[in-house]
Amino acid sequence: AFGRVAAASGLRRVVLLSGRGEPQAAVAEEALRGACGEFELTVVRSAFFAQNFSEGALLDSVLGGELVFPAGSAAEPFLDIDDLADVVVAALTGDGHAGAVYELTGPRSLTFEEAAEELGRAAGRPVRYVPVSGPAYAEVLEGFGVSGPEAGFLAELFATLLDGHNSATTDDVKRVLGREAKEFTAFTREAARDGAWHG
């Protein structure tokens, strides 16, 4: 439906924010490609946002000192959303991105245990990673007021995304912007400086 509306509205360029290795996202990508005869489509697949730890779903866990998450020992190349935003702007305002698929990652992969250690150093408080099963994480989400069906969906989604198949890094941020993606350590220092974990 969005593709038809975009085409009817005369849009020249559309950037779709998608997920890496996410089956539902792949379906959405194909649906939009089928409607993009009238506009240029660029697909941007993003790694897990670094800002999930500073202003998103995991902020309370970091503040509480226990990063409870169903990621096992999988590594993830956390992406700073500033890099994501810059790539999207470049794709919307510049030439040469029509039909491109960009897989955006940070420059290195960390396990959630390693990420928790870096978060703790930057925040000036201990943060430990507590791996849990998908069903246990769904219960945690429900405790935060997330509805049962949504909690189950999110737990299943994270189990799919964080099984290790997305651990590889790419150079697509550099390819689009001509600079390196932001390091996770730089993100943690900036977030701490801005008071993200003073709660």
143 by Cβ neighbours in 10 Å (0-12 / 13-18 / 19+) ranks as: exposed
pLDDT of residue 1: 66
Mean pLDDT of 31-59: 88
Residue 74 and residue 142 in contact, taking contact as beta carbons nearer than 8 Å: no
Domain chopping of the chain, boundaries:
2-189
Q: Which amino acid is residue 168, in one-letter code?
A: A
Q: How far apart are CA 97 and CA 92, in angstroms?
A: 8
Tell me if 69 sits within 8 A of 112, measured CB to CB. yes
| Contact criterion met (CB below 8 Å) for 66 and 40 | no
Residue with tokens 């975009």: 6
The CATH class that applies to domain 2-189 reads: alpha beta
End-to-end CA distance of the chain: 42
Task: For tokens 């240029």, name the residue.
Answer: 40
Q: Which pLDDT score is estimated for 23?
A: 78
Mean pLDDT (the chain) is 92
Digit-coded pLDDT (tens) for 146-156: 999 999 999 99
pLDDT band (50, 70, 90) for residue 28: confident
Percent residues over pLDDT 90 in the chain? 73
Dump the DSSP string for the chain.
-HHHHHHHTT-SEEEEEEETT-HHHHHHHHHHHTTGGGSEEEEEEE--BGGGGTTSTTHHHHHHTEEEES-TT-EE--B-HHHHHHHHHHHHHSSS-TT-EEEE--SS-EEHHHHHHHHHHHHTS--EEEE--HHHHHHHHHHTT--HHHHHHHHHHHHHHTSSTT-----HHHHHHSSPPPPHHHHHHHHHHTTTT--
| Confidence (pTM) | 0.91
Which amino acid is residue 77, in one-letter code? P
